[in-house]
Amino acid sequence: MPNKKEIINIKNEFENELFNSVIPFWEKHSIDKNNGGYYNCLDRNGKVYDTTKYVWLLARQVWMFSKLYNQVEQKDTWLKVAKNGMDFIRKFALNENKRAYFTLNEKGKPIYLQRKIFSECFYTIALAEYAKAVDSNILLNEATSMLKLIWDLSSDPSKVGREKLEGDSGLQTLAIPMILLNVIEEVAGTDFFEYKADIQKLIQEVRKHFINGKVYENIKQDATLENSSEGRLLNPGHAIEAGWFLKHWAKKLNDKSTDNLADNIVRKSYETGWDNEYGGLYYFLDAKGYSPTQLEWNMKLWWVHTEAIYANLLLYSSSKSDKDWERFMQIKEYSFQKFRDTKYGEWFGYLNREGKVTHQFKGGPYKGFFHIPRALLYSVKILEKLINENNE
């Protein structure tokens, strides 16, 4: 078990990374002062290499700066950054049916509408967190009605996803119940009573994906496994993230069974995902050991690792198990050593299997101001709690 001094050092390290490296990078380079919103595609040194704006990333950045304002310090500069993004996406991100686009051009004109619900989900958590920052019931109501829309869309396969043809085996993806659990957590906060039945339903959906110690990304409608590449697909980072979403709900609901499920999902997925030869967590695996068909299966991605940092620490904070702490330290050290850019700040996003940086950019179509600061902030909160416990 770590001693108090060790925990304090780690907390300082995390805070230093968050406040002196990650946040300043995005504050300095991402703001589009002419058109509003943020640039997402930032090269290693912050230079904009593409002006396309990704609604996932715009919304997540609004959410994250609002979160910092709400949970760390009511800094005007943070609120201003959040407002700059919120105004832009409220103006440009939704179409006439309140569906959120996937990409916009620099000026906000729509480029592409995905047949998925994730843009809407991130838009909604941005609204909800920003509403708290500016204490706006109007915006909170917008978030609530977006959540209703997302719920309707997610229950109606004709409205999202590919057209379902006769030969489609109709696999159910982990992503949907998982992201809904997170959106409800963000929108409802402590006031989740009216969502209780939905939450229980979603937890059961996630539970179905955990079969024989593995979290399968895709399962059949009858909750059995399909012996296909999609049916055998494991995504350890995604499973670990789902694990801590569940653990948050387990605490709110005071639900021991869900808490156990969450712990098992995190621990087993971490074990399955860890690369014993080169370290780090794989992006994709095949449950039966075939090569995944995804070309990037063996790469090491930043978000997989930051999710695992926070999840392992969260587990340790309740279990106080040496094994959970060891895993936290293992993934923390791998990540801090391999992903950080000590020259220009922020983290690289992509390593090859051997741990070498493959992509220079700091922001890209799927990497924004979200997973790293969220994991660092949430981890700091846990580390503070551990320090306080040590004082008692």
- Strand ranges inside 307-363, DSSP E: 350-351
Q: Does 299 bind a second copy (CB under 8 A)?
A: yes
Residue of 15, 43, 255, 384 interacting with a second copy (CB under 8 A) = 43
Residue of 38, 328, 361, 378 interacting with a second copy (CB under 8 A) = 361
Residue of 15, 98, 110, 192 interacting with a second copy (CB under 8 A) = 110
Residue of 98, 116, 251, 353 interacting with a second copy (CB under 8 A) = 353
Q: Does 45 bind a second copy (CB under 8 A)?
A: no
Stretch that binds a second copy, among 110-118, 264-272, 321-329, 372-380 (CB under 8 A): 110-118
Residue 137 in tokens: 């019931």
Stretch that binds a second copy, among 11-19, 62-70, 157-165, 328-336 (CB under 8 A): 157-165
Residue of 16, 145, 291, 390 interacting with a second copy (CB under 8 A) = 291
Q: Does 52 bind a second copy (CB under 8 A)?
A: yes
Show Cβ contacts of residue 222 under 8 Å, excluding neighbours closer than 6 positions: none
Residue of 9, 16, 20, 112 interacting with a second copy (CB under 8 A) = 112
Determine whether 48 is exposed, middle or buried from the number of CB atoms within 10 Å of its CB (0-12, 13-18, 19+). middle
Q: Give the residue with the Cβ less far from a second copy, 97 or 137.
A: 97
Contact in structure between 298 and 321 (CB atoms under 8 Å) = no
Residue 332 in tokens: 């923390």
Q: Give the residue with the Cβ less far from a second copy, 41 or 121.
A: 41
Judged by CB under 8 A, the number of residues near a second copy is 45
Residue of 9, 74, 105, 155 interacting with a second copy (CB under 8 A) = 105
First-to-last alpha carbon distance for the chain, in angstroms, is: 17
Task: Write the DSSP assignment of 82-132 as a string of letters.
Answer: HHHHHHHHHHHTB-TTSPBPSEE-TTS-EEE--SSSHHHHHHHHHHHHHHH
Please, what's the b/e burial string for 11-39 (b: 16 or more CB within 10 A of its CB; e: otherwise)? beebbebbbebbbebbeebbbbeebbbbb
- Cα separation, 199 vs 186, in Å, equals 13
Q: Does 169 bind a second copy (CB under 8 A)?
A: yes
Show contacts with a second copy in window 179-218 (CB under 8 A).
none
Q: How far is CA 206 from CA 116, 210, 258, 281, in A?
A: 18, 7, 10, 21
Contact in structure between 389 and 7 (CB atoms under 8 Å) = no
Residue of 28, 111, 156, 323 interacting with a second copy (CB under 8 A) = 111
Q: Give the residue with the Cβ less far from a second copy, 33 or 288.
A: 288
Show contacts with a second copy in window 1-40 (CB under 8 A).
none
Shortest Cβ 59–a second copy spacing (Å): 17
Q: The dihedral of CA 179, 183, 189, 191: what is its sign?
A: negative
Binding mask 313-352 for a second copy (x = CB under 8 A): -------------------------------------x-x
Q: Does 91 bind a second copy (CB under 8 A)?
A: no
Q: Does 113 bind a second copy (CB under 8 A)?
A: yes
Show Cβ contacts of residue 380 under 8 Å, excluding neighbours closer than 6 positions: 11, 14, 15, 18
Q: Residue numbers of the site for a second copy (CB under 8 A)? A: 41, 43, 49-52, 101, 103-105, 107-113, 162-163, 165-169, 228-229, 288, 290-293, 295-299, 350, 352-353, 358-361, 364-365
